[in-house]
């Protein structure tokens, strides 16, 4: 009997405001322990929080970009729990009136993921273990977060991955977060349950907490799915609980029983007033937003004539997309530029970080100039790789390295003389071709390309050979 998996996600994204959510301490990552703190963010008696307006604006942008309704009136609540990384013994969050709600995102397979809500809250500090000691660093305490909560609409690890990649790209495009998963500025709790195919009721869910790597998230989902299937097959019950992913075993393990929101004794924070944002302010924020990834993809397909696969590969990297657009501006050749980016420049930009930073040693204009010459038929397409490799190595523009005549295309009469010479030397290949072995023609084309040092156009050469030997 088959099983269906159902997954809901809670994603925490640290906002890149300069200062914390309720005080003016820096949000910078790292620093000596407990140096980015003040009485407010560690909750000393007598200190009072004051909401950083930029946090509201960043979160509203995140909500607009994920098709949420914005709550013009929202409220801050205390979520009470005791843990050493939380010196106040409560976290300020939002319970019943979140800033954004009812959003959605559509995945490439057509599945719509509903976003229940996006609320703002403060991050906790961090426990640092060394030997038998555990120390606490409150630098991260009070850094603003948004928590993005989906409905249980995912049915595979692949869908989860695509959603998180899209979400990260949106947040980075909006410049509201750097979403560096390895530094914990984007992390994810995964709620997962299984049910027998055809069952209406969802199975009991478990929650895997605090994961900050896409590959671990995929592995954790897979391992938790297998664990739950095995348990049900053995006639066991799934227990509602919080689990963690053990990176060394590749399996999930139990942490504690699952709490629900009643356990936190939420109540409205008496130190903070209601949060208002007017419809006019929301519209101003909407107008200030940059082009979003899906809008950009549509534009690349419509304006530049790219396929959806090619445009997707380019828009995944914000800075690289800008680089691409500059190449297009200079060359007027969007398809040539996309082809060169995907086949040649991706080879140079070896890892994801290099692609994200578009760390190429030459400006886009240099390559754009070469593509313009190709597009105008002044130099042959066959030399692009050679020219590019030389420019990347010497870091100089085309004009300082080469002459156009080095790479100009052979004209018709030049091509014809190369073709005549090659045919004269290829009696056997000509006979084979005439006897029906069509592939024999490649040997003759090869001779022409070699003799012309790549300046002849392969397609023209092929047509010319066929015409000549058939007559």
Residues that bind Zn ion (CB under 5 A): 23, 25, 38, 40-41
Question: Of 40 and 285, which has the nearer Cβ to Zn ion?
Answer: 40
Instruction: Please identify, using beta-carbon distances, which residue of 41 and 449 lies nearer to Zn ion.
Output: 41
CA distances from 327 to 212, 292, 320, 353, 367 (A): 35, 20, 11, 21, 6
- What minimum distance in Å lies between the beta carbon of 271 and Zn ion? 14
Cα separation of the two ends of the chain: 68
Chain-centre distance for alpha carbon 79: 31
Q: How many CB atoms lie within 10 A of CB 156?
A: 17
Q: Nearest approach, Cβ of 248 to Zn ion (angstroms)?
A: 36
CB of 56 to Zn ion, least distance (A): 18
CB of 313 to Zn ion, least distance (A): 42
In contact, 86 and 125? CB cutoff 8 Å: yes
Q: CB of residue 400 vs Zn ion: minimum separation in angstroms?
A: 53
Please, which residue, 23 or 367, has the CB nearer to Zn ion? 23
* 25 vs 419 by CB, closer to Zn ion: 25
Q: How far is the CB of 85 from Zn ion (least distance, A)?
A: 15
In whole angstroms, the minimum distance from the beta carbon of 93 to Zn ion comes to 17
Q: Min. distance of Cβ 21 from Zn ion in angstroms? A: 9
- Cα within 13 Å of Cα(412), Cβ side: 2
Phi, psi of 74 (to 5 degrees): -135, 175
Contact 71, 100 (CB under 8 A): yes
**In the complex, minimum distance from the CB of residue 142 to Zn ion, in angstroms, rounded to a whole number:** 5
Closer residue to Zn ion, CB minimum distance, 49 or 368: 49
Strand partners, 147: 12, 119
Residue 90 or 433 with smaller CB distance to Zn ion: 90
Q: For Zn ion, which is the closer residue by CB, 41 or 419?
A: 41
Nearer to Zn ion, 50 or 302 (CB): 50
Confirm if 438 and 459 have CB atoms less than 8 A apart.
Answer: no
Q: Is the Cβ–Cβ distance between 149 and 10 less than 8 Å?
A: yes
Nearer to Zn ion, 25 or 277 (CB): 25
CA 49 to chain CA mean position, Å: 34
Q: With the CA atoms of 258, 262, 268 and 274 taken in that order, what torsion angle do they form, in degrees rounded to the nearest 10?
A: 70
Least separation, in Å, of the C-beta of 141 and Zn ion? 8
By C-beta, is 40 or 171 nearer to Zn ion? Answer: 40
């Amino acid at each position: 009997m088959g099983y269906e998996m159902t997954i809901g996600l809670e994603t925490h994204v640290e906002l890149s405001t300069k200062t914390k959510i309720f005080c003016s301490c820096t949000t910078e990552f790292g620093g000596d322990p407990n140096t980015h703190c003040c009485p407010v963010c560690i909750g000393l008696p007598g200190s009072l929080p004051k909401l950083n307006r930029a946090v509201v604006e960043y979160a509203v942008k995140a909500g607009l970009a994920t098709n949420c309704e914005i709550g013009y009136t929202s409220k801050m609540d205390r979520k009470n729990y005791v843990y050493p990384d939380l010196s106040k013994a409560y976290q300020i969050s939002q319970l019943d009136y979140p800033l954004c709600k009812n959003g959605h995102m559509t995945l490439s397979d057509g599945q719509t993921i509903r976003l229940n809500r996006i609320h703002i809250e403060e991050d906790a500090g961090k426990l640092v273990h060394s030997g038998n000691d555990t120390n606490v660093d409150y630098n991260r305490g009070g850094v603003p977060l948004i928590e993005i909560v989906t409905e249980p609409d995912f049915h595979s690890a692949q869908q989860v991955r695509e959603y998180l990649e899209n979400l990260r790209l949106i947040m980075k495009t909006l410049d509201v977060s750097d979403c560096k998963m390895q530094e914990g500025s984007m992390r994810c709790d995964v709620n997962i349950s299984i049910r027998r195919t055809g069952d209406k009721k969802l199975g009991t869910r478990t929650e895997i907490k605090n994961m900050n790597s896409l590959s671990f998230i995929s592995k954790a989902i897979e391992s938790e799915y297998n664990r739950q299937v095995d348990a049900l097959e053995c006639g066991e019950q799934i227990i509602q609980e919080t689990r963690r992913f053990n990176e060394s075993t590749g399996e999930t393990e139990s942490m504690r029983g699952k709490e629900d929101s009643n356990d936190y004794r939420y109540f409205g924070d008496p130190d903070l007033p209601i949060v208002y944002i007017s419809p006019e302010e929301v519209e101003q924020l909407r107008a200030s937003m940059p082009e979003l990834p899906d809008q950009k993809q549509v534009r690349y397909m419509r304006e530049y004539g790219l396929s959806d696969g090619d445009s997707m590969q380019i828009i995944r990297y914000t800075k690289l997309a800008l680089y691409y657009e500059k190449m297009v501006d200079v060359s007027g050749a969007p398809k040539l530029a996309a082809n060169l980016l995907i086949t040649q420049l991706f080879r140079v930009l070896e890892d994801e970080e290099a692609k994200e930073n578009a760390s190429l040693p030459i400006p886009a204009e240099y390559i754009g100039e070469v593509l313009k010459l190709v597009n105008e038929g002044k130099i042959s397409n066959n030399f692009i790789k050679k020219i590019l490799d030389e420019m990347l190595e010497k870091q100089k523009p085309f004009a300082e390295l080469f002459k156009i005549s080095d790479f100009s295309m052979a004209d018709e009469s030049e091509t014809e003389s190369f073709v005549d010479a090659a045919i004269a030397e290829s009696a056997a290949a000509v006979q084979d071709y005439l006897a029906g072995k069509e592939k024999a023609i490649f040997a003759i084309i090869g001779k022409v390309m070699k003799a012309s040092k790549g300046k002849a156009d392969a397609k023209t050469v092929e047509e010319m050979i066929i015409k000549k030997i058939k007559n």
